[in-house]
Structure 1
Amino acid sequence: MSPSVSIVIPYTPLSAPAASRFARALAQRNETEVILVGDGPLDAPSSPNVQVIPGVAGKGVAIRTALDRVKGGITVLQDADGAYSLESCEALCRPIQEDRADAVFGNRAGAGLGASVLADRALGQVTRFVTDVPLTDPLCGQRAFRTEALKSVALTSDDDAVDAEIVVKLAAQLYRLAEVPVGLDTPPHQPLASQWSRLRTLVRYATVRDDADNQHEGYTTLERMDGATNYNAWLGQRFREHLGRRVLEIGAGIGTITEKLEPGLELLIALEVDRFYVDRLKNKFRGRPHVRPYLSDVALADWESLKAERLDTIVLSNVLEHIPDDASAVRRFRQILPPGGRVLVLVPALPRLFGSIDEAVGHHRRYTKEGLIQVLEGNGFEVETLEWMNLVGVPGWFMNSRVMRRRSVPKLQLKVYDRLAPLFAKAESRVKLPVGMSLFAVARATGGAQ
């Protein structure tokens, strides 16, 4: 029988005594696999569930070596540091066992303010800035992972930088991350060289989340937009005002708007043409069976099967502009919606703003009011609502995309804009805009299917 949990303990000559103590304490847990991997002599117990892999230098190398051998469905990475208590392992594994998380990090918030913990917390702040993960203590020395998830990320760091790399790459693939409190028996030991290595790695990842397979230029913009929580909440609210119960989202990307739509729905089919993004959607919405990622191009989708799902709403958030033949796509939408069903569309507006960022993310066009009305009403829909949105974004897009020819929106600019988004949303709800960076449309299916 395969073990349910594998505990991996990387060690160095200095930390070998602590690793030995952990191994002896775990030797009687027959359902737990223990793998000690590192460099230098180690006094390990002779037990069927304990493996020792000597002659491996570097924490990153040690973890990669151990991952080739682990058999448990859950892998715990345990620093060889006597400050940590093995009693925390059960709490770390529980959210994974209950399918509420793919990775669980220890949180030492109540464990005192030793210099090492303070340094880790400072690096944790940098980690949160780089990844936008909602973790207080992402570099804790006790972490548990769904083994399949941990093995799916391509780790390249050889030293202690692997701690930061794991967080960055799991976040990049949209795995569900959580944390639980863990106690410390004594202040943990983390050498200055280790902290410096982690910081260098975080700086290297500070502009783009690198998950080793990322060849998608538009991904940089998508992940930055995913971090604009206030702006996304604004868009989500606009869509939810007109949402039915059985929804098809076209072009779900990395699930930024999907996450705002899904609460309370019976069904949400998230169609996406790129497997790169579909894999991330599956990670993000694991455990939510009413959200179904669907890999397909709009032109090649199984529209008869989609029609059988009794959909009442189709949502396109900054997607219609990516489709070469937008009129043909809208006709397909009409074919699967019943009379009265709605299509909700957000598109980039003002063709004069079209620039380098539009090119980078694959836009074919920006829309005028008249152009959007024509593509909707010429293909089986009646426009009920058509409004400008985001007037304040016009100057920034013009400068970044037309004047400076950037390929993505700078992260700092986006964070500042996001802080102000609630004010913009409130102002635009009270005033009818004469123009804006985007157009928001609600259109109702008319008559019979086209």
Structure 2
Amino acid sequence: MLVRDQAAHLSGIEAARAANPGWYEHEQPPEAVSPWRHHLRRRRLYVTSVIKREMADRGLDKSCRLLDLGCGDGNNLTWLQEFSDNLYGSDYNLLRLARAQRNVPAAHIFLANILDYPTEDAFFDVVYFNHVIEHIPDDLAALREVRRILKPGGILVLGAPNEGSWWWQLAYKRDPASLLRTDHVHFYTVRVLDCMMRKAGLDVLESKRLGFGPPDWRLDGRIRKYKWVDDTFEFIGQAVMPSQASSMYIIATKS
């Protein structure tokens, strides 16, 4: 446990558990059984292609140190281990960290606060920061901390829901109670995140939008579990309104 104030951290965790025990305690479904498994596969294939390309551009087979920042139950660590000789995962939730260690015993797993990260400067070659930043109130501070721990020339792969787009804002407007259920505190677009990355001192290399579905949270999960439905929505979204995709990735580096 690498936090400055253990008592304060545990107190915050208990408050989160009391407010939403299911979100804190339930296991995160792996890709194979998720209702969005075809979308998750598409995201995974994009991320792996980026890491392979960036490592090849540097003349490397693997990164020296790769961090899954906000690793949760470790579902992504299971495939990220292919790309690093030293794999790290951190989260604020000890229950999830125990699962992550069971899922990937070889990984270095530790509890840490993203806003006060317990590693030296320029420590990681690759930081995978996937669908975490939307949960962090001080998101700019988090990005600045990511820049601090990233090596010059290293790669940040940042993923987030594209919920600032009008299509997914429509989903919230159609179901106002969903705003009370979500633990997201930010609703981004690619343009907003791109601007924040630059403000944090990161150099943006590329952005990618992936996925599409109906602006209805319950219906989206029910029908996109079928590959042909997910593929059809993906085709329509990319062809007609790519800016309204369900997910986005921004790839950045540190000069």
Q: Is the shorter-chain TM-score for this pair beyond 0.5, marking a shared fold?
A: yes
Residues 264, 431 of structure 1: CA spacing in aligned structure 2 closer, same or farther, 3 A cutoff?
farther
Aligned to 2:254: 445
Closer, same or farther in 2 for the Cα pair 1:264/1:387, shift >3 Å? Answer: closer
Change in CA separation of 1:311 and 1:257 when aligned onto 2, cut-off 3 Å: same
1:328 to 1:264, Cα distance in 2 relative to 1, 3 A:
closer
How far apart in 2 are the matches of 1:326 and 1:237? 26
Question: Alpha-carbon deviation of 1:315?
Answer: 0.9
Alignment of 1:192-341 (within 5 A): 215-217=21-23, 222-223=28-29, 227-228=33-34, 229-243=37-51, 244=55, 245=63, 246-286=65-105, 289=106, 291-304=107-120, 307=121, 310-341=123-154
**3-state SS of paired residue (1:364):** coil
Give me the TM-score of the superposition, normalised by structure 2: 0.71
Summarize the Cα distance change of 1:440–1:277 in structure 2 as closer, same or farther, 3 Å threshold.
same
**SS at 1:222 equivalent:** coil
| Unmatched tracts of structure 2, length 5 or more | 1-19, 56-62
Q: Report sequence identity in percent.
A: 20
Change (3 A) 1:425 1:311: farther
- Give the 5 Å matches for 1:85-100: none
Letter in 2 for 1:273: Y
TM-score, scaled to structure 1: 0.42
Partner of residue 387, structure 1: 208
8 Å contact kept, 1:226–1:256: no
Q: Is 1:399 equivalent to 2:216 in the alignment?
A: yes
CA gap of 1:348–1:271, structure 2 versus 1, over 3 A, is: same
Distance 1:265 1:420 in 2: 35
- Per-residue deviation, 1:253: 1.4
| Cα gap change, 1:361 to 1:262, in 2 (>3 Å) | farther
Alignment of 1:365-376 (within 5 A): 365-376=186-197
Alpha-carbon deviation of 1:422? 5.7
- Partner of 2:245 in structure 1? 436
SS in structure 2 of the partner of residue 338 of structure 1? strand
My pick for the range that moved more, 241-250 or 349-358, is: 349-358
Q: CA RMSD in A?
A: 3.2
Query: How many residues align structurally?
Result: 215
Determine which structure has greater relative contact order: mean sequence separation of CA pairs < 8 Å that are 6+ residues apart, divided by chain length: 2
Partner of 1:343: 156
In structure 2, the partner of 1:377 is 198
Cα distance between partner residues in 2 of 1:428 and 1:303 = 40
CA change 1:321–1:434 in 2 (3 A) is closer
**SS of 1:303 mapped into structure 2:** coil
Asked if the contact 2:124/2:149 (under 8 Å) is kept, the reply is yes
Secondary structure of the corresponding residue to residue 266 of structure 1: strand
